[in-house]
Chains A and B, each alone.
With several copies, the nearest count.
Chain A
Amino acid sequence: MKKGEEIEFIKDGKRVDGRTFDELRNIKIEVGVLERADGSCYLELGDNKVIAAVYGPREMHPRHAQDAKMAVIKFRYNMAPFSVDDRKRPGPDRRSVEISKVSREAFEPVIMREYYPKAAIEVYVEILQSDAGTRTAGINAASVALADAGIPMKDLVSSIAVGKVGGEVVLDLNAVEDNYGEADMPIAMIARKNMITALQMDGRLTKDEFGRGLKLAMNACHQIYELQRTALIERYNKRESVKFEEREA
């Protein structure tokens, strides 16, 4: 889009893709999609496609990085080279290092790390297709993959961003909104306890807009929590019925 072209981001209370201010994009969650990983999850958030895998608890390497009192969580957020418009060079860049850190810290409050001293719990998130909001999609997928791997957690973590576009505070920016947005604020939360485990903000917001945005995001995390829970229950039921069929056979 050239400069000077104007996009009308808000029209009749609707956004460019027809959503209301507080409406999430479509979310699709599949549990247990990988064979080799101990737990895994494929997740779509609008046009974002991400996949998360969990390995562990297993021995932490290198040894000098072990923690004698609890498991170390490793979190690696990585973009596939073809997940963005201009091909991304493989390997970590500064952005993905920061996202990996923030995402790891989003899970540290919930994982029962003290159960596994000296161990590593490894979470890998691959972004296959990106459309703004990949880090929140990754955290949501990782949360489900951790549960699928049977890692003991106090609770699930749910994540979403709010942003400001066309002067309005709205939920879950898509790529067009994000490119022209005035602010973006991803959060992660233990939805059932309303405890915030990650919070970042880019752009410019008044204090009032910040407060409203935080509320909007927190509400949406409750919705996401329900979707995560439903996906896990379906998976569990399917497993159980497989076991049942096996017993019958």
Chain B
Amino acid sequence: MGLEIMDDVRKDSVRNRISEGYREGDREFREYREISIERDVAMKAEGSARVKIGNTDVLVGVKLDLGEPFSDSPAVGVIITNAELVPLASPEFESGPPNENSIQLARVVDRGIRGSETVDLEKLCIVEGEKVWIMFIDIHVLDNGGNLVDAAALGAITALQNARVPNERYGLTGDDTLSVRDTPLAVTMVEIEGNILVDPDCNEENAATSRLTVISNADGSLSGLQKSGSDSMTEETILEMVEIGIEKAGEIREKFLKTPS
């Protein structure tokens, strides 16, 4: 509470530097921090990946459990995406049930996977109307250095690409391959002092008053958008951000992801 002044000072400092064309760590405005991906980091998961973008550190695990389909869609499996902002990851996170930030994070990542129809849900059906795979995509944030959503989306698609169907553990036979048909990637941008910045760190997130996440697919189409934050945006800014988002996603895709077969 007594530190609110410090918070303002920090915001102003970020804004001033940005308006002088300077960004922490000498980054370009449209440059990501260093990205690294570690695969299969959680052997109890069907698939997993740990993604670091700068100081941001996110672990995503994919688990498949047996369950019943929804009554209005008896022939397809179920995806449940969940995010935990555990207090280990940031002085601002608190223990407790999911809040609007963790819910939004999970739902935006989920939206990209659904919108792109990345997972073939029909292949997750075992017995129509009775038994399907419930796929849990769990986003576990370890260090919040800003831009969680891009790290989580990249972690989710990487974990999916490495996941196997655990037929054996459940006494089932069949192909263990999970059908992963697209590579939706999130690219988040903020606008500070009239400049569009890609991949904001946490100081930039605080200094910016609004943010746009653009999720795009291998073919350059969009499979999700989410504006957040307390300020408005012009049509032009949004169109430009969509352009940049698709381009940046392409670069990351090329560098880090397998091409879906």
Contacts and interface: CB of A to CB of B under 8 A. Distances in A.
Nearest to B243: A207
B98 interface: yes
Contact of B88 (A58, A124, A129, A218): A124
Interface stretch (B9-17, B19-27, B138-146, B172-180): B138-146
B221 A207 contact: yes
Interface residues on B, range: 35 or more
Contacts of B41: 49, 128-129
A66 to B, nearest CB: 10
A37 B93 CA distance: 11
Interface residues on A, range: 35 or more
Contacts of A197: 232
A84 interface: yes
B161 interface: no
B257 interface: no
Interface in B25-82: 41-45, 48, 55, 57, 59, 61-63, 65, 75, 82
B243 to A, nearest CB: 7
Interface string A93-110: 011011011100100110
A100 B231 CA distance: 16
B235 A76 contact: no
A185 interface: yes
Contact of B43 (A97, A109, A129): A129
A87 B233 contact: no
A126 B142 contact: yes
B86 A126 contact: yes
Q: Taking chain A's interface residues, is the majority helix, strand, or loop, or is none over half, making it mixed?
A: mixed
A98 B42 contact: no
A197 B239 CA distance: 14
A100 to B, nearest CB: 7
Contacts of A36: 55, 89-91, 143-145
A167 B106 CA distance: 28
A195 B84 contact: no
B232 A82 contact: no
A105 B138 contact: no
23 contacts: A3-B75, A36-B91, A78-B88, A80-B138, A80-B140, A82-B62, A82-B63, A87-B136, A94-B98, A97-B98, A98-B103, A105-B227, A108-B230, A126-B88, A126-B142, A129-B41, A129-B44, A195-B232, A196-B232, A199-B233, A199-B238, A202-B115, A210-B225
Interface of B: 1, 4, 41-45, 48, 55, 57, 59, 61-63, 65, 75, 82, 84, 86-91, 95, 97-100, 103-104, 106-107, 111, 114-117, 136, 138, 140, 142-145, 169, 210, 212, 217, 220-235, 238-239, 242-243, 246
Interface of A: 3, 34-37, 47, 49, 51-53, 55, 58, 64, 68, 76, 78, 80-87, 90-91, 94-95, 97-98, 100-102, 105, 108-109, 122, 124-126, 128-130, 183, 185, 190, 193-207, 210-211, 214-215, 218
